[in-house]
């Protein structure tokens, strides 16, 4: 079932267009990779899907009925979260706990259930042992992991991640793809991830959306139905 649909979206910054006539659907409960070269507007596409940017023309629609009565809850891990400066005052546990407030609202005390979810999220990204450390003192890959844990602690039904494995070692990356696959398969979560690492992530994904430049047409959106399909002329414009 379609959860989000983008139709003929045109968008740019200032008076410079960066996406021209993009149409793409995201289905409920799929793990989608968005790929394309630097500057192809992958982050921009995510922000349009999230409603953080407004298209010049065309439409972006979230079909909440696809969630079958559940409230829409979106987790977002932006690009470069690893650049928290070294003076960032929070400790890991506080930061990850703060992810619960997107669901609970501010000024609510966390119940035992939320404490368990925080613990589970930190364990799933391999950062439980670091829970009392200051965030600013962690390595880039470790900061990336706790930002993912924070997003998971919010128990989103849609998780949007912009190059989430940047800075992670190979073992961490593979563990992360498996974890996302688990959330998609076992919890019905919809996961949308910008990635440059299709070789590694491809077998875990349900579908790839590829932003490719076509001569004289600007950036266009191509999708594959199956990740085993290589990019090439067999792709058709959606
Ligand atoms: N706030 C902004 N103001 C002006 N131009 C912008 C802004 N954000 C992005 N752009 C431009 O829009 C284009 C697409 O940027 P975007 O960050 O979406 O690309 P990307 O595919 O995510 O790139 P990367 O792989 O390098 O992260 C680029 O040419 C970029 O310079």
At 1, which CATH number?
3.40.50.300
Asked if 143 and 171 sit in the same domain, the reply is no
Asked if 133 and 189 sit in the same domain, the reply is no
Q: 158 and 190 in contact (C-beta within 8 Å)? A: yes
47 close to ligand 1 (CB < 6 Angstrom): no
Where among 155, 174, 194 does a domain terminate?
Answer: 155
Asked if 58 and 107 sit in the same domain, the reply is no
Question: How many angstroms separate the alpha carbon of residue 112 from the centre of ligand 1?
Answer: 42
Tokens found for residue 236 = 């058709």
Question: How many angstroms separate the alpha carbon of residue 92 from the centre of ligand 1?
Answer: 30
Asked if 94 and 196 sit in the same domain, the reply is no
pLDDT in tens, 163-177: 999 888 899 899 999
Asked if 169 and 55 sit in the same domain, the reply is yes
CA separation for the pair 118, 99 (Å, rounded): 9
Which of 10, 42, 79 for a ligand 1 pocket mutation test, highest count of atoms within 8 Å of Cβ?
A: 42
Question: DSSP of the chain, one letter per residue?
Answer: -EEEEEEEEEEEETTEEEEEEEEEEEETT-EEEEE-STTSSHHHHHHHHHTSS--SEEEEEE-GGGGTTPPP-EEEE-TTGGG--TT---BHHHHHHHTTHHHH-TTPPPPHHHHHHHHHHHHHTT-GGGTTSBGGGS-HHHHHHHHHHHHHHT--SEEEEESTTTT--HHHHHHHHHHHHHHHHHH--EEEEE-S-HHHHGGG-SEEEEEEEETTTEEEEEEESSTTSPSSTT--B-
Asked if 14 and 128 sit in the same domain, the reply is no
Helical packing angle, 140-153 and 170-187, nearest 10°: 10
Which of 16, 18, 33, 196 for a ligand 1 pocket mutation test, highest count of atoms within 8 Å of Cβ?
A: 18
Q: How many domains does the chain have?
A: 2
The gap from C-alpha 214 to its chain's centroid, in whole angstroms, comes to 26
Of 97 and 232, more confident: 97
pLDDT at 226: 43
Q: Residue 77 falls within a domain, yes or no?
A: no
218 close to ligand 1 (CB < 6 Angstrom): no
Question: How many angstroms separate the alpha carbon of residue 31 from the centre of ligand 1?
Answer: 23
Nearest CA, atom 3, ligand 1: 13
Q: In this predicted complex, what is the ipTM?
A: 0.98
Asked if 118 and 219 sit in the same domain, the reply is no
Question: How many angstroms separate the alpha carbon of residue 42 from the centre of ligand 1?
Answer: 8
Structural domain for 48, as ranges? 1-72+157-238
Asked if 166 and 209 sit in the same domain, the reply is yes
User: Which pLDDT band, with edges at 50, 70 and 90, does 231 fall under?
Assistant: very low
Of 184 and 21, more confident: 184
CA separation for the pair 59, 217 (Å, rounded): 20
Where among 132, 155, 178 does a domain terminate?
Answer: 155
pLDDT at 31: 95
CA separation for the pair 137, 140 (Å, rounded): 9
Tokens found for residue 4 = 């989000």
pLDDT at 234: 30
Max alpha carbon distance in the chain (Å)?
57
Q: Determine the average pLDDT of the residues in 117-143.
A: 93
Q: 70 and 157 in contact (C-beta within 8 Å)? A: yes
Q: Is the pLDDT of residue 232 over 70?
A: no
User: Which pLDDT band, with edges at 50, 70 and 90, does 12 fall under?
Assistant: very high
pLDDT in tens, 171-199: 989 999 999 999 999 999 999 999 999 88
Atom of ligand 1 nearest to the CA of 79: 27
Asked if 162 and 147 sit in the same domain, the reply is no
17 close to ligand 1 (CB < 6 Angstrom): no
pLDDT in tens, 48-64: 998 889 999 999 998 88
| Terminal Cα-to-Cα distance of the chain (whole angstroms) | 17
Question: How many angstroms separate the alpha carbon of residue 213 from the centre of ligand 1?
Answer: 14
Asked if 99 and 217 sit in the same domain, the reply is no
Asked if 127 and 187 sit in the same domain, the reply is no
Q: Is the pLDDT of residue 28 over 90?
A: yes
- Which residue is associated with the tokens 């932006």? 78
């Amino acid at each position: 079932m379609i959860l989000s649909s983008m139709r003929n979206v045109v968008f740019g910054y200032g008076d410079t267009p960066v996406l021209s006539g993009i149409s793409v659907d995201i289905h409920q409960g799929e793990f989608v990779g968005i790929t394309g070269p630097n500057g192809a507007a992958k982050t921009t596409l995510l922000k349009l899907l999230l409603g953080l940017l407004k298209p010049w023309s065309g439409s972006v629609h979230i079909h909440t009925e696809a969630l079958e009565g559940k409230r829409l809850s979106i987790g977002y891990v932006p690009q470069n979260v690893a650049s928290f400066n070294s003076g960032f005052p929070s400790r890991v546990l506080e930061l990850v706990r703060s992810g619960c407030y997107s669901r609970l609202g501010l000024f609510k005390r966390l119940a035992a259930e939320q404490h368990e979810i925080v613990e589970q999220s930190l364990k799933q990204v391999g950062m439980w042992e670091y829970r009392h450390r200051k965030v600013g003192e962690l390595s880039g890959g470790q900061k990336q992991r706790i930002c993912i844990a924070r997003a998971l602690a919010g128990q989103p039904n849609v998780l949007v991640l912009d190059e989430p494995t940047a800075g992670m070692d190979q073992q961490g990356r593979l563990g992360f793809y498996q974890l996302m696959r688990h959330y998609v398969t076992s919890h019905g979560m919809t996961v949308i991830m910008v990635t440059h690492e299709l070789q590694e992530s491809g077998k875990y994904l349900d579908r790839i959306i590829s932003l490719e430049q076509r001569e004289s047409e600007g950036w266009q959106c191509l999708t594959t139905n199956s990740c085993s399909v290589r990019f090439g002329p067999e792709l058709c414009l959606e």
